Amino acid sequence: MKTATYQKHVLNFKQPSGTSRGVLKSKETWFILIKDNGKHGIGECGMFKGLSIDDRPDYEEKLQWACKHINSDLKELFQALTEFPSIQFGLEMALKSLESKNQFELFPSNFTKGTDSIPINGLIWMGTEDFMRKQVKEKIESGFKCIKMKIGAINFKSEVEILKSIRKEFSSNDIELRVDANGAFSTSEALEKLKTLSDFDIHSIEQPIKQGQINEIAKLCDITPLPIALDEELIGVFSKERKEALLETIKPQFVILKPTLIGGFQGSDDWIDIAESNQIGWWITSALESNVGLNAIAQYTYTKNNVLPQGLGTGSLFTNNFESPLQVKNGTLKYKSNNSWNFNL
């Protein structure tokens, strides 16, 4: 008989991190711990306040319920948690951890052996123009070949100037530039702003307008001068039929998968299958989980053999993260298999 418990943990940012939704100073996360026959499994439910579809008053109650029903039929259990994708993912992770020889090695591969790495983008947080320029300089100096800049919080003209200064020094062969608007543009100004951004050989823009405006984003994807990647738009779309209808209607150039927000490995697999059958590119991104969640996402991502830089560089953001073998080096995420975990709640 399995037993399951959960525990909350508050991650503290080393420095306040700016997005178009405001400045983040801390982030709550929850861990599911499963025991069975002397073995332990660990999973992280990294519900993201203000973004996750399961940011609801009954979240903890549902977490308690999931732990209580850990010995139920798993298909039925996951079905009952459809509207709580982060709990689905935490459970999926914990069960995989329980089955594994090493509770933190969920997908053994050349990545977990430490012989291969995952290319990742360097994330530029919003802030003053000076602060953003400083981050760009640091990322380039530390070996990143792909930079993702969050835009939409400071003056658009200043953001354009930063992009212009990067392109003056580095061509798109040297540095791939991605921008993430987090839905900051209004529908009336979006196309003009995309035209301005397209001068800088931008790889893609994430979610230029707020999610839920299906006709508007579909029109934009049809006439855009630079590739559009859907991110928030995927949140809260549960059935396979609705996922197919969404991508067939909007026809984006890319989708970005955050397993915590879309139902874990299974939810990501569904989106990947649909995207690929519609010739839509994709990549995977963490959503400010601790190293426990990031580790599971990175190992899963490696098995997908996607050559694009992934969004997995968030492990060093917190003062009280857990020591792990994950290491960012020269714009890649590596697994130093001789480094051990220190998971203490």
- Is 251 annotated in the active site? no
Q: What is the pLDDT of residue 154?
A: 72
Kindly give, in sequence order, each residue whose CB lies less than 8 Å from that of residue 62, ignoring residues fewer than 6 positions away: 54, 56, 81, 84, 87
Instruction: Supply angle C-alpha 199, 205, 209, rounded to 5.
Output: 115
List domains and CATH numbers for the chain.
3-99 (3.30.390.10), 110-335 (3.20.20.120)
pLDDT of residue 45: 98
Q: Give Dmax (Cα) for the chain.
A: 62
Q: What are phi and psi of 154, to 5 degrees?
A: -95, 180
The pLDDT of residue 20: 58
Q: Are β-strands 22-36 and 39-45 bridged in parallel, bridged antiparallel, or unpaired?
A: antiparallel
Continuous segment of H or E residues that includes residue 22? strand 22-36
Regions of the chain where pLDDT drops below 70: 18-21, 153
Q: Which of 287, 301, 235, 263 is nearest to 11 (CA)?
A: 287
Say which residues have a Cβ less than 8 Å from residue 43's Cβ, sequence separation at least 6.
Answer: 31, 32, 34, 89, 90, 91, 92, 93, 94, 95, 96, 97, 292, 296
pLDDT value for 19 = 65
- Residue of 27, 96, 139, 150 marked catalytic: 150
Q: CB-based contacts of 100: which residues, under 8 Å, 6+ apart? A: 106
237-263 pLDDT tens trace: 999 999 999 999 999 999 999 999 999
Distance between CA atoms of residues 307 and 265, nearest Å:
19
Answer whether 270's CB lies under 8 Å from 243's CB.
Answer: yes
219 is catalytic: no
List the catalytic residue out of 27, 145, 148, 258.
258
Q: Scanning the structure block, which residue is given the tokens 């979006």? A: 190
Instruction: Report the pLDDT value the prediction gives residue 227, as an integer from 0 to 100.
Output: 98
Q: With beta carbons less than 8 A apart as the criterion, state whether 318 and 290 touch.
A: yes
Q: Alpha-carbon torsion 203, 164, 140, 295, what sign? A: negative
Contact 219, 190 (CB under 8 A): no
Q: Give this prediction's pTM.
A: 0.95
Residue type, position 136, single letter: V
Q: Return the pLDDT at 21.
A: 64
- Separation between Cα atoms, residue 294 and residue 318, nearest integer Å: 13
Give 234's DSSP letter: G
- Helical segments of the chain, H only: 59-68, 74-80, 85-99, 110-113, 129-141, 156-169, 190-197, 214-223, 240-250, 259-262, 264-277, 291-303
- Give me the pLDDT at residue 223, please: 98
The whole-angstrom separation of Cα 23 and Cα 25 is 7
